[in-house]
Amino acid sequence: MKKIGILTSGGDCSGMNAAIRSATRTALGHGVQVVGFRKGYAGLLKGDLLEMTTRDVAGILHRGGTFLQSARSEEFRTVLGREKAVRHLQDLGVEGLVVIGGDGSLNGALALHRMGVPVMGIPASIDNDIAFTDMALGVDTALNNIIYAVDCIKDTASSHDRAFVIEVMGRNSGYLASMSAIATGAEYAIIPEVECDIADLCNQLRQRYEEGRSNAIIILAEGAGRAQNIADNIKDAIGFETRVTVLGHYQRGGAPSVFDRLLGSRFGHAAVEQLLAGEKGKMVGLCCGEICCTALETVVVSEKTQQDQLHDLSMILGI
């Protein structure tokens, strides 16, 4: 292989830059040229790219987001769009592609693989909803962001005898909510994977209020409902005054944690080594601390299943 491409696609996350830098430097170290496509598949379709040298990826490791930028491309979802992408890769002489992104992006990578493009995927999504990796890139940084915010909110909640419903991201996954509930000692986590019993929630909060506790924190995964609706449903039954905080995109940014810097560096290196060794149509992942590699067609049809266990733990510890 003489030239490879790299792109970041879908929702950005911290650690993507570490993966880009590592993949680029690994390839260059093998004498392989690297092009970076801007704004994910959209850049691939437009031919919006940059030739990457080792200096281009200097000074990005500690920065959140992705310096290649990211996007969700409607055109790439179409057969015509994908055929165009394959043609562009051929015209550019790009013989392999590293796709850094979440489940939609990995589905796109699988489509390209099926059209004959050697592709390696790197799981990157704060939702941590991608199977065959214990952690996706960006999850650890997002959790650190969330717990910082929740700790701050607890301070003001306790000054005012208030209950807060704090909405976190995660799309259909409750991972961020369950883990942040455990890590902040929240009273309750509401996640899409487990039906929420509002009466039970109100009883627990009411009891807490009557015991004279100074605050209550409920972490709500966005896929399980809207924070304002939950707050409206419980406010008359729990004693505490209620307030709502939606953490939003704050969760996705910021300097990557050590964990995400190391994970991105390991993933980027492994993806390129695998590609150059002739592997294709696979995703690198983290399995029990080691780098693993799984066929994309297996990854995209598999569900990550640990959320309800984490939820149970968060409920036990929050009481």
Q: Which residues bind ligand F6P (CB under 6 A)?
A: 11, 102, 125-127, 169-171, 222, 252
Which residues have C-beta within 8 Å of that of residue 306, sequence separation ≥ 6?
175
Q: By C-beta, is 85 or 177 nearer to ligand F6P?
A: 177
Nearer to ligand F6P, 175 or 267 (CB): 175
Residue 289 CB contacts under 8 Å (≥ 6 apart), including other chains: none
CB of 310 to ligand F6P, least distance (A): 17
CB of 35 to ligand F6P, least distance (A): 25
Q: How many CB atoms lie within 10 A of CB 162?
A: 17
What 3-state class would DSSP assign to 208? helix
Instruction: Take residue 55 and report the two structure tokens written for it.
Output: 């200096």
Q: Which of 14, 252, 62, 223 is nearest to 146 (CA)?
A: 252
**Residue 250 assigned as binding residue:** yes
Q: Can you give the C-alpha Rg of the chain in angstroms?
A: 21
21 labeled binding residue: yes
Closest to 109 measured CA to CA, from 189, 5, 33, 197: 5
Is 132 or 240 the residue whose CB approaches ligand F6P more closely? 132
Whether residue 127 lies in the annotated active site: yes
Closest C-alpha to 107, from 128, 121, 97: 121
Output the smallest distance, CB 155 to ligand F6P, in A. Answer: 26
The region that residue 132 occupies, defined by phi over 0 for left and psi between -120 and 50 for alpha, beta otherwise, is left
* Catalytic-labelled residue, pool 12, 56, 91, 127: 127
Determine the Cα angle at 149 with ends 257 and 70, to 5°.
50
Please, which residue, 107 or 214, has the CB nearer to ligand F6P?
Answer: 107
Return the bridge partners of 241, or none.
162
22 known ligand binder: yes
Distance of closest approach, residue 247 Cβ to ligand F6P, in angstroms: 10
CB 19 → ligand F6P: shortest distance, Å?
16
Angle of CA points 37, 42, 47, to nearest 5°: 55
Identity of the residue, 128 or 274, whose beta carbon is nearer to ligand F6P in the bound complex: 128
**Residues tagged active-site:** 127
Q: What residues form the annotated binding site?
A: 11, 21-25, 72-73, 102-105, 125-127, 154, 162, 169-171, 185-187, 222, 243, 249-252
Q: What residues form the annotated binding site for ADP?
A: 21-25, 154, 185-187
